[in-house]
Amino acid sequence: MRTTLKQIAEATGLSVTTVSQVLNDRPCRVSAENRQKILETAQELNYRKNLVAVSLVKGTTDTIGLAISDISNSFFSALAKGAEDECQKNNWNVILCNSNDRHEQEMKNLRMLADKGASGVIFGMASETTEEMARECTDFLRREHIPYLFVDRYVDTRTCGIISVDHTEGGYLAADYLIRKGHRKIACITGPLNLIDSRQRLDGFEKALRENGLQSDPLYVAEGRYNFESGREAAGKLLARGIKIDAIFAFNDMMAIGAMRTLSESGYRVPEDISVIGYDDIFMDELLETPLTTIRQPMEEMGRIAARQLISGKIGYKSRQHKTILKPELVVRRSVLDRPGISLADSSLADSSLTDSSADFILRKH
Amino acid sequence: MRTTLKQIAEATGLSVTTVSQVLNDRPCRVSAENRQKILETAQELNYRKNLVAVSLVKGTTDTIGLAISDISNSFFSALAKGAEDECQKNNWNVILCNSNDRHEQEMKNLRMLADKGASGVIFGMASETTEEMARECTDFLRREHIPYLFVDRYVDTRTCGIISVDHTEGGYLAADYLIRKGHRKIACITGPLNLIDSRQRLDGFEKALRENGLQSDPLYVAEGRYNFESGREAAGKLLARGIKIDAIFAFNDMMAIGAMRTLSESGYRVPEDISVIGYDDIFMDELLETPLTTIRQPMEEMGRIAARQLISGKIGYKSRQHKTILKPELVVRRSVLDRPGISLADSSLADSSLTDSSADFILRKH
DNA sequence: CTGTTAGCGCCTTCAA
DNA sequence: TTGAAGGCGCTAACAG
């Protein structure tokens, strides 16, 4: 078995209390001699503190529960990395829980975390979670007196704290950039519109259009589900509508990549024929054949900040609506074409790019 | 505060023991009436078991420590997903620790996990970890009586258990496939050759060459560091040697993607001019413009199996050398060209594909 | 059927 | 400068 305080006490002929004091570096009232003796035998016996016992008596585990939908999603693994890193620095740790986007599992995970005595929870809601379900989560955590932070996506009511990025601003940034680059016919592939982040991005997008005297048009909007396949499909739908498209703003990178695939398969070149901008800045963006211009969400930093707020006690279980909204950031790579001097009236381009698709394909498929 | 057994005992006028028995569904000797009463008040008072206390008394935490180098690496996040999923099913949980490939941090993490009472550890060694350092890890875990499993990479001595894939077979599969597709001049970009997995892949690779009457040639080998950038560099070196190359086998996908980038930038098309095969099967492989043919390592399954072995007790701290070696699997996508009828003697191709690179670039850069 | 006692390993008064 | 006592919340003998 592991060495215990008691064993050290016996070995040194001192009391458990004294040993505990010394081993915890207390502002001490222990003779230098005994202190030395204790330290030495602790070393010899290879003593290591039993943190389970410490947790029990102190009533805190210094552990953060990371309740997310899927760690293999690079969005969340970046978050996890930031959170874990910050925990490490403070001698905290993180328990990982995947919900696989199921609210029921989400609740199970929260219960388990509560039972394990988690000192805080970083919570990335499942996408199927409705406002009512979210409330079930928050109510539970509050009742358990566990401080928590929603990341990225959130329900705006009665939360303990939120750490997110300004999605409205992000949507605005993307659209504004496209417009400044001379694009006018801008389509977008949204996320599920029942999700607040998706709606906010759309708001920002439309705001930028308005400010530039452009109309938003439902024909230019397709709804996706934040994954590759739905990006493919949505781009296909957009194309099938027979409208002229200068650029596509996909509400996340996975969909952007899916859209690029469809475009490429349909004989369009990115960005020469149609530009694409994404959202997230996942690590593979820059590894793409056409590196993806995108709106960056600083996930790792969000994880770091979330952990810090929980560890420092800045967020307590009684906190309400403590918001930390980070700024998204435009990351320019190569998927958006610069079309200088193209005016609103211009419409002579596009479609000309629709060459014979099979020949085109072979030429460019490598 | 949270409701405790004591409170329920007081509320029902029964003893803590009785309450405990009932709440643990013991083959019980409690009157139906009291049982009912206990259940009800537990419900009312919103009782939840304090697992920290349970851990203390039972001497086990039902927690697996996941000590890996970097969770944001999709290789490990897939592993984590599998492990977490299996834990979830058994009411275990996982504590996540990143070492960022530093052995010192690795040891800190193991110590922390031991102090937290981890019931088992899934251990993905840092790549800088030498055999001696690895021994430091295993010695520590053994002394702490913690069962552990090395994943993927391992040192062959005195480990408690290993779960890995047959890298020799993987290297063989890759080379054999290329040869069967008519490639002869096969280069490879290895990982750091001090790592066992890398050496094994090389062994398998060379074995396939031999069996097919081909020579292995140092000129066709470049060493990388398992990341994108080193794949780029290594491909550059290979190209600079002025040798004829039919295909490149990169020892992981990140390097394969890096190599493809270099090839593309140097005016080579993949797979028309040079084929590329990778290793790992990370999720982005199929999202690439030229989906990457690769050797799949079943990471999620490895995580799942590792967790299961630890949870079931199949691996105990006294286990020695318990090996589980999974078979790697060829995943055919589009980065390898089929060159039917090309014989060993043939050498008329290649180089012809080296067109004017700038013009070529514009044609194909989209 | 139920309660008492003891103890997991540690920390924290409080008294000596 | 030190130690004894009590308790964190729960479980597991062992009595009744």
- Regarding whether B270 and B142 lie in a shared domain, the answer is no
> Does residue B25 form part of some domain?
yes
- Regarding whether A173 and A264 lie in a shared domain, the answer is yes
> Does residue B361 form part of some domain?
no
Q: Can you spell out the DSSP letters for A136-169?
A: HHHHHHHHTT--EEEESS--SSS-SEEEEE-HHH
Query: Which residue's C-alpha is at the least distance from the C1' of C2?
Result: B18
Domain that residue B27 falls in:
5-49
A80–B71 CB contact, under 8 Å:
yes
- Regarding whether A157 and A79 lie in a shared domain, the answer is yes
- Regarding whether B240 and B152 lie in a shared domain, the answer is no
Handedness of CA A12, A14, A17, A19 (dihedral sign): negative
H or E segment to which residue B296 belongs: strand B293-296
- Kindly tell me if the per-residue pLDDT of A360 is higher than 80: no
- Regarding whether A289 and A208 lie in a shared domain, the answer is yes
Predicted pLDDT of residue B341: 64
Query: What's the farthest any 2 CA atoms get from each other in chain B?
Result: 94
Q: Return mean pLDDT, chain B.
A: 89
> Which of A228-242, B136-150, B331-345 is the least confident region?
B331-345
- Regarding whether B337 and B277 lie in a shared domain, the answer is yes
DSSP A249: E
Q: Return mean pLDDT, chain A.
A: 89
φ, ψ at B355 (rounded to 5°): -85, 180
Measured between beta carbons, which residues in chain A are less than 8 angstroms from residue B100? Answer: 85
Spatial contact of B65 and B120, defined as CB atoms under 8 Å apart = yes
> Does residue B355 form part of some domain?
no
Does nucleic acid strand C have an atom less than 7 angstroms from the CB of B56?
yes
- Regarding whether B282 and B142 lie in a shared domain, the answer is no
- Kindly tell me if the per-residue pLDDT of A355 is higher than 50: no
- Regarding whether A345 and A282 lie in a shared domain, the answer is yes
Measured between beta carbons, which residues in chain A are less than 8 angstroms from residue B317? Answer: none
Cα–Cα distance measured from residue B63 to residue B92, given in angstroms and rounded to the nearest whole number: 5
Predicted pLDDT of residue B28: 65
- Regarding whether A278 and A207 lie in a shared domain, the answer is yes
Does nucleic acid strand C have an atom less than 7 angstroms from the CB of A49?
yes
Tokens 């040869």 locate to B179
Cα–Cα distance measured from residue A318 to residue A66, given in angstroms and rounded to the nearest whole number: 20
Cα–Cα distance measured from residue A188 to residue A220, given in angstroms and rounded to the nearest whole number: 6
Predicted pLDDT of residue B27: 66
Nearest to A69 by CA among B85, B240, B295, B311: B85
Distance, CA of B88 to C1' of C9, in Å: 28
Residue-wise pLDDT for B23-52, tens only, equals 988 766 778 888 888 999 999 999 999 999
In order of A310, B173, B183, B213, the CA distances from B345 in angstroms are 67, 23, 11, 12
H or E segment to which residue B63 belongs: strand B63-68
CATH for A339: 3.40.50.2300
Query: Can you read off the two tokens belonging to residue B128?
Result: 């800088």
- Regarding whether B237 and B125 lie in a shared domain, the answer is no
Query: Can you read off the two tokens belonging to residue B142?
Result: 């053994």
Residue-wise pLDDT for A231-281, tens only, equals 999 999 999 999 999 999 999 999 999 999 999 999 999 999 999 999 999
> Does residue B313 form part of some domain?
yes
- pTM of this prediction? 0.87
User: Which has more pLDDT, B356 or A258?
Assistant: A258
Query: Can you read off the two tokens belonging to residue B139?
Result: 């010695």
Query: Can you read off the two tokens belonging to residue B322?
Result: 């318990």
Does nucleic acid strand D have an atom less than 7 angstroms from the CB of A36?
no
Overall domain count for chain A: 3
Predicted pLDDT of residue A27: 66
- Regarding whether B31 and B103 lie in a shared domain, the answer is no
Cα–Cα distance measured from residue B207 to residue B214, given in angstroms and rounded to the nearest whole number: 10
Q: Compute and round to an integer the Cα radius of gyration of chain A.
A: 27
> Which of A329-343, B109-123, B260-274 is the least confident region?
A329-343
- Regarding whether B198 and B339 lie in a shared domain, the answer is yes
> Does residue B284 form part of some domain?
yes
